Amino acid sequence: DLQDEDFTTKFVIYHRRFSTNTNPKWPLAQPMRVVGHNGEINTLVGNVNWVKAREKSKTLPESELNDLVDAENTDNIVMMCNTQDVPNVLEPLVDLGRSDSANLDAVFELMTKSRHRAPCALMSLVPTAYENEPALSNNPEIVDFYKFHGGLLEAWDGPALLVYSDGKSIGASLDRNGLRPARYSITNDGTVYMMSETGVVDLDEADIVQKGRLGPGQMINVDLATGEFKDNIAIKSEIASRHPYGEWVKQGRKDVTRMSFADDRLYDDATTTFAQGTFGWGLEDIGMQIQDMAGSAKETTYSMGDDAPIAVLSERPHTTYNYFKQRFAQVTNPPIDPLREGVVMSVAMTLGKKESIYKVSEKGARLIHLESPVLNSNEMDRIASFAEPENGGFQQSTVSTRYTLADGPEGMKAAIDAICDKAVEDVRNGVEVLILSDKSADQAELDGTTYIPPMVAVGAVHHRLIDEGLRMDTGLVIETGSAWSTHHFACLVGYGANAVHPYLALETVKQWHGSKRTQSMMKAGKLTSTSLDEAQQNYRKAVENGLLKILSKMGISLLSSYQGAQIFEAMGLGEEVINTSFKGTTSRIGGVNLSDIAQETAMMRPETASEKAKLINYGYYKPVPKQGEYHVNSSDLAKLLHNAIGLDKKVSAATNRDEAENDGVKPKNVANYEIFKKSLESAPLANIRDLLDFESDRESISIDEVEPAAEIMKRFCTGAMSLGALSREAHETLAIAVNRVGGKSNSGEGGEDTVRIKDLSDVDEKGRSPTYPHLAGLKNGDSANSYIHQVASGRFGVTPEFLTTAKQLEIKMAQGAKPGEGGQLPGPKVSDYIAGLRASKPGVTLISPPPHHDIYSIEDLAQLIHDLHAVNESAGVSVKLVSSIGIGTVACGVAKAQADVIQISGGDGGTGASPLSSIKHAGMPWEMGLSEAHSALLTNGLRDRVTLRVDGGIRTGRDIAIAAMMGAEEFGFGTIAMIAEGCVMARVCHLNTCPVGVTSQKEELRKKFPGTPEHVVNFFMFVAEEIRELMAHLGYSKFEDLIGRADILKESEEQITRIAKTKGVSLSGFFGSIPDSKDSRAFLLATPAEGGGIKDEVVHVNGGSSDLDREMCNHEDVKAAIENNSGDTAVSFNIKNTDRSTGAMLAGDISRKYGNKGLDGNLNVNIFGSAGQSFGAFTLPGMKLRLTGEANDYVGKGMHGGEIVVLPEADAGFVAADSSIVGNACLYGATGGDFHANGRAGERFCVRNSGAYAVCEGTGDHCCEYMTGGVVVALGTVGRNVGAGMTGGIGYFYDEDGRFNERVNEEIVKFQRVVTPAGELQLKNMIERHFEKTGSEKAEAILDNWDEEKAKFWQVYPPSEAQSAVVSDTIVGETVKVSATAPSEELCYLPVGAGLSPDQTTRCAD
């Protein structure tokens, strides 16, 4: 059509996307009826559930049908509508069998066919973060629009670029987080070009009159009738002015703000303790969780992962919440950042009847708006007051979820039916606030009754009301004693609750606050002194922040979108329970029924006098010897392993190691390893693999026929434990040991000392080396350089040399202990040495961002893989994922993105520090994820493209054999490897007080480190020999013949009968989906296209998108310049936007030869055109890249030195200072270098910058986020949230509109005018250099009127910089840094107060 002369159109939308679905199906295609969607809808399950609830609501009278239709659309199909929202002939409007794009398109289309214009429909469905948005302060009508529609419709939330047209207008909009790029150009003939990347369409810059980008939540629109272009404010203001939304909200909405808490006690202490016991509270819940939440408004931080049994296998009673695992975003969609980007998030909820989303009227505003979903008794009273006719007339009803104890376990089913029937009756009678309550009036009622667990109750009522077409007519409030952890609240809201009144948690806070122990701790200064109201406020704040964190892991910004979304996987729940309360939730291994749950609930009841007097310590988190929950990794287990491998924890540098024979390493003991192994085999059930046994298809063979242990150990890896989480001693010992056996050590997040690059050659006869004086048991030829170097979201320690000295590079998408969150290193563990490696400040806590800045989608993960393959072509790239439902699709996408290795981590992984709820409740066992990933890759013909690695609680040869049969080829050891070098499972990693120096940075504790490489090697040998014995028993001589052979595994009837709680667990469905690969073994070798060799020796090679990089590296002048290492060399190239990572290969070549800073010459590379993503990645000192044209996202990613300059063409028809020239997340993770852009940058400029000196002419939101060093100068306006998480470095911001103060995140940073001579010197020199490098008109205008213009700058600084010369005048005689590097590659300083001499006319760079 487009090539037919007779075919004309005013617009075209063209959309192409990365397909993770290798077996495409028509239902998954984008219909493209009214919207083109690039991204993910993270809230899809909830959105679909609520649209289905609307489909069931038959409420519109026939007389109103005509009012649904615009006059121009009289024959519209909406005429047939006889439901609240959707015409019957169109049902089902939505379906989870279709793609998220198709479902969004369906709802969007129907809205445009009724009373909504296309921009209006999109504003309703995908709202911006309008609260406290400085850009909307002059447009209250837009804010009112969003307030009104937020009550009607839950947001379709997720990282999305949406292009839409209803035939009347065409437009585009970004989601509220703005991770995706969207660039547009307007030419002098009025044509508007909008592209996800700039440079897609070849335009002459002389013809362009405006270049822009969409920021978070922004929209542009072109009227197809008039041709008028409308920017974000213009189109939104036009739409928002069509109705008096503000008036409607003011008249109809009732607000419940956060009120003070009551001091009165509900029960006395004895009754409170009894009630706590009946609801499953344990001593730990008060001593750890309540104390941290009420005492410091924070969730408990803990360490070492989750080694307790899963709830269904546990012999102890568990609340229903513990059967659910939170799902999280990875690869195909990103988590978001509740800590630093909380401005886009909200926990606000509503109660009441929701009107039709297709018929806008003032009735839609009649709702109760809750500022918080966590309600106290005063707020419950306020809600009750709205029942009065003169105060809103919101009818209310309370339904008790308690039933008589005498009814026994079978009574629960009848009780559920009864509350559902009552709920239906009440809502039919007009109840708009339905309260489900398990509160007892007194001890007598507690004694005689039990309760339906609130999750079961709310889920049952929620689904019953949906089935009856009544769910939109009421709000559900859960009043319960069984909610105290953040996970509990997430579960209740996720399965339908609008709000929760945690009466017993608040009662417990009062009990805790009034106790003698708490009061004495406050007096002693061990706890912050708080009033009773403050303690309860703290508790609520901790719950709300915890909820935001749980939402963010799934990439969801609004709690209202999370409500009813059921974003969990159940583990251990049977079909009856799922069908009653949790319809649509996956539960892959079956489990308990309603009667079992009733019995488990009854088990919690205190029966004896001592139980009634004091809560039980269940030991779910910290092991309690004898009486508590079983923990696999115990101090007893550590002793058994130490005895086997010959480790004595008392022998260390602090004691007598130097005098002891063989450094105190005793001979390894096979008998003791058998005892260690048997202790695990006979232990209580804990993991899914404990329910499995082997059933070989062959006769046993002699162990002499089995491949040697040395070959098996090549498949062993260590977990990604960082230097920082571990001490130097522990980290280096592990690396040396794994390298010794031919396995793969892993650096973890945080970099490594360059001293570790070279093999040891200075070891004496006592096994000591002056290079590593703190280690023992060394040998010449040992290597402490980790085989795998990890690249995580914080980019700590990631330099070109770190990348080029790795044999494999690992991208950390998620970690088992806290998938969807960034790593954290407590301040006390950030020693001078650790801070030096990470380019951060000593003593300042380091929190990595969630993995989203440059890996928020499969396309961007593919880009980072491309970057890493470019800088180090000989290193494979691995991607670390965490087990979760849907990981099969994710794994296929990662394989297609050119990863060489996919690692599947279990959700129980160990960690140095993590929120407790993340450790316990996020991520699935690796058995689930590994088998799903292997199956999906095999089914889709991708299995030969990747090696599968698994880790998470692997301890024995039996574990490895099972993992191999499920598809793994390599195996990671984490916690158990730490135990093998001396860890005693003290579980204080997060406190920096490890008694044996494994996880402490304190010098005196590190000296107590008892381990040597030999200890770890002994452990690996034992595991390898155990595998060999098992292989001989099964009749297999080669380990590779076990891989993918799930047919050899069977469910163990003997183990299944040991499950105490239920007879409902079955693994048959779990195994049913794993393809039989008994006779098809080709997947074990690399693809035929890559030679079909051993996968470990084959690395995927970047395709044509690296051609320019190769051309640069192969240029004779460039090769000569690198070889000669002197003088100046200049070369020129043209570039297009499919040329990606340009400069990375060149940086790799230089780094391999000279390290990070060894190039003495200057390579001047002049480039012309539109650069693809990651232009100038990993640039080194001596590299000077000058781009005339424009660039996309990630310019200067990982820049370590040198210079990048980006400027428009000389004849450009637009104003450079007002136009976008580079994309999002530029200088992400930069550690040095000078950057100049003559134009505006996108979102997240200089995120995690720790050393670059950068100048641009304005930025989007989140500038200087997570910055730890360097200097940023912005010569134009910036977006909101400047300096969030900034702990080092300086920012200078030119405040033209006088509103900069609204845009700063003041949680950490402060800002002031430029008040010191040093600050002025630094700023002026950087602007002068910017003018010389780019010819910037903006810079010239500022410099020409310096004395006046300098007063418009603000200086932003964190506490760590408060005493620096540029911030404070208190330091005399210091020099000030004005450039990251000078041509000599020495740091460039000028004396404070000194002017520039005449021969410094090139302003500092020379």
Q: Are 776 and 653 in contact (CB under 8 A)?
A: yes
How many percent of the chain have pLDDT more than 90?
82
pLDDT given for residue 1377 in this prediction = 79
Sheet holding 368-370, edge to edge: 254-256, 368-370, 349-351
Question: Rounded to whole angstroms, how far apart are CA atoms 36 and 657?
Answer: 68
C-alpha 1175, offset from chain centre: 25
Residues 732-771 have pLDDT tens digits of: 999 999 999 999 999 999 999 999 999 999 999 999 999 9
Mean pLDDT of the 986-992 span = 90
Would you tell me how many other CB atoms lie within 10 Å of the CB of residue 1397?
8
How many whole angstroms separate alpha carbon 1110 and alpha carbon 748? 30
If 0-12 CB within 10 Å is exposed, 13-18 middle and 19+ buried, where does residue 923 land?
buried
**Strand, helix or coil for residue 55:** helix
Distance CA 1034, CA 1049 (A): 11
Above 80 in pLDDT, residue 359? no
Is residue 865 within 8 Å of 811, Cβ to Cβ?
Answer: yes
Instruction: For residue 555, give the 3-state DSSP assignment.
Output: coil
Instruction: Find where tokens 């230089």 sit.
Output: 1150
As a whole number, mean pLDDT of residues 845-863 equals: 90
pLDDT in tens, 1124-1176: 999 899 999 999 999 999 999 999 999 999 999 999 999 999 999 999 999 99
pLDDT at 856: 87
pLDDT of 566 > 60? The answer is: yes
Tens of pLDDT along 28-45?
Answer: 888 899 999 988 898 898
Question: Residue 612 has what pLDDT?
Answer: 85
| SS3 assignment, position 1391 | strand
- In this prediction, residue 90 carries a pLDDT of 67
Residue 761: in which H helix or E strand, if any? none
Residue ranges with strand state E in 202-286: 208-213, 219-223, 229-230, 254-256
Q: Can you give the pLDDT at residue 308?
A: 94
pLDDT tier, 66 (very low <50, low <70, confident <90, very high otherwise): very low
Residue 503 in tokens: 């009466």
Q: Which two tokens stand for residue 203?
A: 């335009």
Distances (CA, A) of 1231 to 173, 910, 1326: 34, 29, 18
Determine the average pLDDT of the residues in 1341-1362: 96
Instruction: Specify the pLDDT at position 748.
Output: 93
Residue type, 489: F
Residue type (1 letter), 140: P
Q: Does residue 51 carry a pLDDT above 80?
A: yes
Q: What is the DSSP string of 838-904?
A: HTS-TT--EEPPPTTSS-SSHHHHHHHHHHHHHH-TTSEEEEEEE--TTHHHHHHHHHHTT-SEEEE
Q: Find the mean pLDDT for residues 118-141.
A: 94
Structure tokens at 420: 């559902």
Question: Distances in Å between the alpha carbon of 189 and those of 192, 196, 210, 281?
Answer: 9, 22, 12, 70
Bridge partners, residue 396, by sequence = 433
pLDDT of 1 reads 79
Sheet of strand 229-230: strand arrangement: 35-39, 160-165, 169-174, 219-223, 229-230
Q: What is the mean pLDDT of residues 773-798?
A: 96
Q: Which of 66, 61, 217, 68 shows the shortest CA–CA distance to 130?
A: 217
Give Cβ neighbours of residue 817 (< 8 Å, ≥ 6 apart): 305, 306, 908, 909, 910, 911, 914, 918, 919
1328 has a pLDDT exceeding 80: yes
Tens of pLDDT, residue by residue over 618-669, are 999 999 877 799 999 999 999 999 999 999 999 999 998 888 889 889 999 9
State the pairing for strand pair 449-451/433-437. unpaired
CA 582-586-588 angle, to 5 degrees, is: 125
Q: Across all residues in the chain, what is the average pLDDT?
A: 92
Across the range 713-733, mean pLDDT stands at 95
Q: Average pLDDT in the 792-815 region?
A: 95
| More confident: 94 or 1259 | 1259
Tokens of 132: 């406290």
Instruction: Judge whether 897 and 1171 are in contact, CB under 8 Å.
Output: no
State whether the Cα torsion 569-573-578-581 is positive or negative: negative
Cβ atoms of 1144 and 1122 closer than 8 Å? no
pLDDT value for 89: 61
Q: Do the beta carbons of residue 102 and residue 90 sit within 8 Å?
A: no
What interhelical angle do 670-681 and 635-645 show, nearest 10? 150
- CA 1101 from centre of chain: 28
Measured distance CA(548)–CA(564) in Å, rounded: 16
Where would I find the H helices in 367-441?
Answer: 377-385, 411-428
**Nearest CA-CA partner of 401 in 459, 451, 444:** 451
Mean pLDDT, residues 1240-1258: 97
Q: What is the pLDDT of residue 80?
A: 43
Query: What is the arithmetic mean of pLDDT over 407-412?
Result: 94
Other CB atoms within 10 Å distance of the CB of residue 566: 24
Would you call 345 helix, strand, or coil by DSSP?
A: coil
CA distance 1234 to 314: 57
Predicted local distance difference test score (pLDDT) of residue 608: 84
pLDDT at 84 over 70: no
Segment (H or E) for 717: strand 716-718
Token pair, residue 638, equals 């550590």
How far is 1084 from 1096, CA to CA, in rounded Å? 10
pLDDT digit string (tens) for 948-965? 999 999 999 999 999 999
C-alpha 711/C-alpha 99 separation (Å) is 45
Is there a contact between 913 and 303 (Cβ–Cβ < 8 Å)? Answer: yes
d(CA 337, CA 317): 34
pLDDT, position 1374 = 54
- How far, CA to CA in Å, does 815 sit from each of 791, 880, 904, 1284? 12, 7, 10, 24
- Provide mean pLDDT across the span 963-973: 97
Asked if residue 507 has pLDDT above 90, the reply is yes
For the segment 199-220, the average pLDDT, to the nearest whole number, is 95
Q: How far apart are CA 346 and CA 558, in angstroms?
A: 5
Q: Predicted confidence band at 1403 (pLDDT cuts at 50, 70, 90)?
A: very low
Tell me, what's the pLDDT at 148? 95
Helix axes 100-113, 44-56, angle to 10 degrees: 40
The closest alpha carbon to 192, from 219, 214, 170, belongs to 170
Q: Indicate the SS3 state at residue 533.
A: helix
Give the CA count within 13 Å in the CB-facing half-sphere of 953.
29
Residue 61 pLDDT greater than 70, yes or no = no
Measured in whole angstroms, the distance separating CA 33 from the mean position of its chain's CA atoms is 32
Cβ count near 623 (within 10 Å) = 20
CA 248 – CA 714 distance, rounded (Å): 69
What tokens appear for 772 in the block? 């590593």
